[in-house]
Structure 1
Amino acid sequence: MAKEYSQIVEGIVKGVGGKENIQSATHCVTRLRFALKDETKVDKEELDKIDVVKGAFSANGQFQVVIGQGTVNKVYAEMVEATGIGTATKEETKSVAESNLNPLQRAVKALADIFIPILPAIVTAGLLLGINNILTGTGIFFEKKSLVQVYTQWSDFADIINLIANTAFTFLPALVGWSAVKRFGGNPLLGIILGLMLVHPSLLNAWDYPKAKAAGDIGMWNLFGLQIEKVGYQGQVLPILVASYVLAKIEVFLNKRVADSFQLLVVAPISLLITGFLAFIVIGPVTFTIGNWITSLFVGIFDMAPVIGGLLYGALYAPLVITGMHHTFLAVDFQLIGSIGSTFLWPILALSNIAQGASALAMMFLAKNDEKLRGLSLTSSISAFLGVTEPAMFGVNLRYRFPFYSAMIGSALGAVYIMLNAVTSPSIGVGGIPAIFSIFPNKWISFSVGMVIAIIVPFFLTFFLGKSKKYTLNSKKITRIEDHSV
């Protein structure tokens, strides 16, 4: 077995450009992660020849080789021993990889580092809101009535579920504050306090702001003649992102200049005090306005041309995943939910996941003579249908290209349909087929039709393309069979 891993390691190291090209390497649950000096030296064909390698791609400055759970740690240990590159933590490899990123890529990676840690809480909230949707949605079980309207004893049960589910969104600035301040090098506990400060009960709720403004009923602070609106930022992302950056930088600045014996008494109070005033005087009002502009921009585009908007976002979401740019749209989703109470972008994400799964499933039927590829295609398609597309995208579809393009087409057509039918979601949930429970119940039928489109079109397009082009498939490569018939 050791010899087998030795050969695998030799092939992987050769495929990534040799050990001289490796700056740092680590691994996660399924992948080897490399920070390379020059990614142009990577030989993907060499990597594809290795049996345990299920795919390889570059994202956020790291070149990642998908191997699989249980095997990746053994391969990594053998690689460290064989090459002498030394072990590295995920953070160390990320830090090295960041030096290879341009400013835009660094900004996208920063957003990913902030939002990914809080996704479990948001997805959980989305699932619970889905349960609440089932209980309170009209027309699901009874015509023009909800379950709790017919069986009133369930109303308080549904109300408690709604409260639990809404907590993550109500106190979203606290979650973002914790993650953002940590990412920017500050004390994450101060980030939580900063986030809670922006949604304090004594402030006007952000969702009531338009009505209060129209009525001229907004409370004010008078700071030596400067009038400041006493408004909270529930559901808003930009105010806490900018405020967290400021807080972290002030804290880091003070920690370097204040003696250790006085840091507890000086650093946190001054950091919060300065950031708090800036948040309510400058940061909050400016970023709140920018957030509304962003909301208006996306709403305007999709209202004016839903076909074009759905077509482009549905087709391009999967390529955005490859680049890591899809993380920027998490912030847009949160902004839409906080501003208008729902998002029309996230349902398209779910269709994109489903489409990738459908293409991978078609590959299982095409790869008749390769048990490894058949097994990988089946398991990765199931994973994609449940919202995790990485095995399908990088292990199957991107490797053979035409399944990936077929998935893009199916996702785009499904997105057009749900946009024409104004399908929206009150939250972010689990992508893939379970996403239907996070959709407003009155749009379940429309979303179901969109899912059918995202399954049928990629499946048959992938299948017929594979047949018509006379491809013979195996897990290491794809070969075109020439047609010599007259």
Structure 2
Amino acid sequence: MSKFTEDAKLLLEYIGGKDNIKAVTHCVTRMRFVLIDEKKADEKKIESLKSAKGTFTQAGQFQVIIGNEVSEFYNEFTKIAGIDGVSKDAVKAAAKSNQTFVQKLMANLAEIFTPLIPALICGGLILGFRSVIGDIKLVEDGTKTLVETSQFFAGLYSFLWLIGEAIFHFLPVGIVWSITRKMGTTQILGIILGLTLVSPQLLNAYNMAPGTVPPVWDFGFVQIEMVGYQAQVIPAILAAFILVYLEKFWRRITPDYISMIIVPLFSLIPAVILAHTVVGPIGWAIGSFIANAVYAGLTSSFGWLFAGVFGFFYAPLVITGLHHMTNAIDLQLMSQFNGTILWPMVALSNIAQGSAVLAMIFLQRKNERAKQINVPACISCYLGVTEPALFGVNLKYGFPFICGLVGSCIAAMISVSSGVMASSIGVGGIPGILSIKPQFMFMFFIAMIVAFCIPFILTTVVGKKKLTSEDVSGVDIKQAEFTETENIDSEENKLDTVAENFQAPITGITKKLSDIEDKGFASGAMGEGFAIEMQDGKVVAPFSGEVMVCFPTGHAYGLKSNDGKEILIHIGMDTVELDGKGFDVKVQAGQKIKQGDVLVNVDIDYVKSQGKSLVTPIVFTDGRKVELLQENVAVKAGDENIIKL
């Protein structure tokens, strides 16, 4: 009988029995289940098991953290359950069936835009500031802007374009890069494709005057218009997937010795051609249809009803990038009615989404990691740039986005039914009130209050039910309580306070464990530690001792020092999916090691090309207290004094 027999039997019972398991596998630290009905899994009872260090659900998988001995536990569990385990890829595929179409769509969007969030936040704040100093008449009795009266602000306004507007102008480059990274294809080809969509050689379609005939590339039998897709999302996404699947096709059928020539050439050129002849025109056709529908709705006798529809769907338009088309509609309305009733709704939508983020700031006030995204995203949104709030916060959780749409819908109906009109296109968000005609400012202020209150209240109420303890505080309370209990009786750990013996196993940049993406490690459920973002492929032993665990795929190692320290080195994130490719393993389980011995050589270029993160957790699985002395600093393999034990 295995030492895990009893816990394995109980886990099978607590998880809902054999009939509730669609698929099961394990990685280096945890069991990964795809369950038919996740509600049948009793998390409290599972976490009460001696072998279990915590649970969480991610991407349709119910995961139970076991630790270094997970492979032994897994073997006993599958034996008792009478089921066969499957590969991790098979589990991921099965997990997708637990997600709705909307969940899959949102998950894919989130994966595309997550790497872009820092740039979006930065660009949003800068563009908001530029709008304040360049578009709002703040001086000389409200007749001039700061830019018009100060050379300093004029120069600053012009200079900040490099950082702010450029981020959104060249957004297709980031999108195509992110998709190639996600799909594991050649990222530099993605960057080049993105640049062909925004090249200075191309006209900016948003700045083209009506009736402008763009120049063309003339091939004799066909012509292609030289029009760019600056700030567009849909054309960039479609073009990226064309490139990805072309590259995968050619890589599959091309012999290795000529792949360096054939694959890039026959992937990139057709992708660029299709992007400018098929994807772009389709995107603009969609945009034109929406623009005409908006104009017709606003000018009809049912304008107030259309306002509710527009208020609800404007934020989703931002996701597609088609919201830029509203500028043309605004200009038409200004020409016809000496003002626009559309722009106030845009400003109200920004406020509503910002207020949903404000509620998330309130709900996650104890979550330091969440605040780093929530606070700047909220500020940016209130200043009129919603992308950081949408992609960084509201779409991530789902319900804040919907609550924002409801608030925007009601506020828009109040605005249009009251005849609120802006004299011109101005600053979105809170400063938008300054572009409202004076006689309508009071009613717009009332609409603003609605856009503030409804999303904030709805998001707060729903969030208290939806958010987990980890979402709220950044740490899974149940796991933290377990870890604290496990550490109380370890007097031996208190005596070992010497850090000089421990050396960095990797060359790279240090990170706090709590800041990494993987919930299982970041929560501290596996133990305390730190992480290093690998910059060199050599991984060495941080102390002398023994290799306790050497995972078959070469991406994870459990080590025990001669004086009893136990650590887990997990190279990168989701690198188990590489199935050992890129890992030249130099040790095996049970082998004695000396400090500085090479454990594995990692082909970091290959790992990056597969879209995997090289952030590597180093976790003390024996329950020791660990303090990272300096984060975000460069260390070399063999350096000492990087942690305090």
Tell me if the contact between 2:131 and 2:427 (Cα under 8 Å) persists in the aligned partners: no
Match status 1:118 vs 2:116: yes
Secondary structure (helix, strand or coil) at the match of 1:214 reads: coil
Write the letter of the residue equivalent to 1:453.
C
The AA in structure 2 aligned to 1:249 is Y
- For the residues of structure 1 that align with 2:46 and 2:150, how far apart are their CA atoms? 61
1:194 and 1:298, CA in 2 relative to 1: closer, same or farther beyond 3 A? farther
Structure 1 distance, partners of 2:446, 2:87, is: 46
Task: Output the CA distance in 2 between the equivalents of 1:35 and 1:138.
Answer: 55
Superposition map of 1:20-419 within 5 A:
23-24=24-25, 35-38=33-36, 40-43=37-40, 46-47=43-44, 60-63=59-62, 77=67, 80=70, 83-84=73-74, 94-95=92-93, 97-98=95-96, 100-101=98-99, 105-140=103-138, 143-209=142-208, 211=209, 213-215=210-212, 217-294=213-290, 304=303, 305=305, 308-309=308-309, 331-332=319-320, 334-337=321-324, 340=327, 345-355=349-359, 360=363, 379=366, 383=371, 386=375, 412-413=406-407, 416-417=410-411
Q: What residue number does 1:481 align with?
A: none
RMSD of Structure 2 on Structure 1 (CA): 5.4
Shift in CA distance, 251/459, structure 1 to aligned 2, threshold 3 Å: closer
Looking at structure 2, the residues matched to 380 and 425 of structure 1 have their Cα atoms a distance apart, in angstroms, of: 35
Distance 1:47 1:127 in 2: 43
Counterpart CA distance in 1 for 2:45 and 2:291 is 43
**Cα distance in structure 1, aligned partners of 2:13 and 2:435:** 53
Relative contact order higher in (CA < 8 Å, ≥ 6 apart)? 1
Output one character per residue of 1:287-318: Cα deviation in whole Å (capped at 9) or x when no partner.
3212433455567668843652377569xx9x
Tell whether the 8 Å contact from 2:176 to 2:190 is kept in structure 1 after alignment: yes
Question: CA contact under 8 A between 1:128 and 1:165: conserved in structure 2?
Answer: yes
CA distances 1:305-355 after superposition (whole Å, capped 9, x unpaired): 3652377569xx9xxxxxxxxxx76633x2214763996655432222334
Which secondary structure does the structure 2 equivalent of 1:42 belong to? helix
The CA distance in 2 between the partners of 1:385 and 1:49, in whole Å, is 32
* Alignment-mate amino acid for residue 145 of structure 1: K
Tell me how far apart the structure 2 counterparts of residues 255 and 414 of structure 1 sit (CA, whole Å): 47
Q: Secondary structure at the match of 1:228?
A: strand
Counterpart residue identity of residue 237, structure 1: V
The residue identity in structure 2 corresponding to 1:23 is V
SS of match in other structure, 1:144: coil
Instruction: Quote the Cα distance in structure 2 between the aligned partners of 1:289 and 1:55.
Output: 47
- Structure 1: state its 5+ residue gaps: 1-5, 66-74, 318-327, 361-376, 399-403, 428-434, 463-474, 477-486
With over 3 angstroms needed to count, the CA separation of the structure-2 counterparts of 1:152 and 1:219, relative to structure 1, is: same
What is the deviation of 1:144?
2.8
- Paired-residue identity, %: 22
* Higher share of residues assigned strand: 2
Structure 1 residue aligned with 2:333: none
Alpha carbons of 1:214 and 1:282: their partners in 2 closer, same or farther (altered >3 Å)?
Answer: same
Q: Is the contact made by 1:133 and 1:441 (CA closer than 8 Å) also made in structure 2?
A: no
Number of aligned residues: 396
Secondary structure in 1 aligned to 2:109? helix
Q: Which residue of structure 2 lines up, in the alignment, with residue 324 of structure 1?
A: none
With normalisation by structure 1, the TM-score equals 0.62
Q: Select the structure that is richer in helix.
A: 1
Residue 280 of structure 1 deviates from its aligned partner by 2.0
Q: 1:422 to 1:55 in 2, by over 3 A?
A: farther
Change (3 A) 1:293 1:108: farther
- Check conservation: 2:307, 2:412, Cα contact below 8 A: no
The answer to whether the 8 Å contact 2:291/2:325 transfers is no
CA distance in 2, matches of 1:149, 1:442: 17
Shift of 1:240: 1.9
Residue 125 of structure 1 contacts residue 166 of structure 1 at CA under 8 Å; is this kept in 2?
Answer: yes
TM-score by length of 2: 0.49
